[in-house]
């Protein structure tokens, strides 16, 4: 043993770093700290933070905002070959959007037993109504992502 702390299971990829950065910005803006990034090849084509309060938008989760920006950037509603990185397990709304957008690979940091719909609850990608299933990877950056959320809600209690 050379190190005292727990080693991360793998290094945090740059797009997840960008998503975590967006999550920190959301917290500073008083929004629930979740961030997302869409990548095509080696290029990040969209980064977005959760923003449901200002302007008021019940659909303003980081994933939805990043997918919309990415579609606008490439001029196509189908983000074929693109990957999405997000700091929290997507909810049903966002998992559905990820499928509609034809995202190839979904990477999420922290799992969300209370609101997630990938490995919990609605399990959107496992339904036969789901016409496109991304590959799913999780865990990279989860410690930072989860601590950011815990800190945010702790301050507001």
State the virtual CA torsion across 38, 42, 138, 31 in degrees, nearest 10: -40
Which range in 15-23, 113-121, 135-143, 148-156 contacts its own copies by CB under 8 A?
A: 113-121
Catalytic, out of 25, 31, 63, 72: 63
Query: Which of residues 115 and 139 has its CB atom nearest to its own copies in the complex?
Result: 115
| 82 in a labelled binding site | no
- Binder of its own copies out of 2, 56, 156, 157 (CB under 8 A): 56
Q: How far is the CB of 139 from its own copies (least distance, A)?
A: 20
Does 33 bind its own copies (CB under 8 A)? Our answer is: no
Site residue total, its own copies (CB under 8 A): 45
Active site residue 63: yes
Contact, 141 vs 21, CB < 8 A? no
3-class SS shares of the chain: helix, strand, coil, % to 5? 35, 20, 45
- 99 DSSP assignment: H
Beta-carbon count within 10 A of 153 CB: 10
User: Mask of contacts with its own copies, 69-98, x by CB under 8 A?
Assistant: --xx-xxxxxx-----------xxxxxxx-
User: HSE-up of 151 (CA within 13 Å, CB side)?
Assistant: 14
Residues noted as catalytic: 63
């Amino acid at each position: 043993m050379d190190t005292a702390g727990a080693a991360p299971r793998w290094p945090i990829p740059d797009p997840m770093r960008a998503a975590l950065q967006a999550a920190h910005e959301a917290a500073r803006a008083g929004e629930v700290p979740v961030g997302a990034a869409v990548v095509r090849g080696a290029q990040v084509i969209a980064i977005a933070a959760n923003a449901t309060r200002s302007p008021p938008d019940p659909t303003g989760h980081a994933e939805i905002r990043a997918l919309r920006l990415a579609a606008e950037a490439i001029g196509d509603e189908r983000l074929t070959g693109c990957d999405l990185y997000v700091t929290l397990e997507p909810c049903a709304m966002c998992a559905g959007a990820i499928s509609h957008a034809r995202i190839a690979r979904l990477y999420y940091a922290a799992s969300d037993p209370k609101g997630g719909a990938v490995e919990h609850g609605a399990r959107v990608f496992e339904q036969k109504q789901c016409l496109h299933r991304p590959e799913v990877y999780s865990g990279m950056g989860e410690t930072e992502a989860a601590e950011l959320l815990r800190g945010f809600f702790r301050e507001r209690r």
